[in-house]
Amino acid sequence: MQDTKQDKLKRAIKEFNEQMDWDQFHTAENLAKSISIEAGELLECFQWNAAFNREELCDEMADVYSYLIMLAERIDVDLDEITLQKLEKTKAKYPVEKFRGISTKYDKL
């Protein structure tokens, strides 16, 4: 079976963290905090207007994604699987015939 891009990415992140001896700092709690911090930095790219620096935005997106991958590995979940499961829950909350083109929260309509 051929490695997917996701497999290669996970392996590259794991190898880097092992080289740096950083896994000791990567508790689930610390990774969740790091995701939040990096998400704040992602939002900062749009702080004063809708214009953004593409390179900075991509760097922050990569940081959020990397920490999310590390958290998923730490708690032993498959990101693809849990994302698909969540999508099914969201579809149930927001049936297309009722919410198409509407951004109102499901419990406010």
85-103 burial string, b = 16+ CB within 10 Å, else e?
eeeeeeeeeeeeeeeeeee
> What is the per-residue pLDDT across 84-107, written as a single tens digit (0 to 9) for each?
999 999 999 999 998 999 988 888
Q: Is residue 108 very low, low, confident or very high in pLDDT (cuts 50, 70, 90)?
A: confident
> What is d(CA 39, CA 45) in angstroms, rounded to the nearest whole number?
10
> What is the per-residue pLDDT across 11-41, written as a single tens digit (0 to 9) for each?
999 999 999 999 999 999 999 999 999 999 9
> What is the per-residue pLDDT across 42-81, written as a single tens digit (0 to 9) for each?
999 999 999 999 999 999 999 999 999 999 999 999 999 9
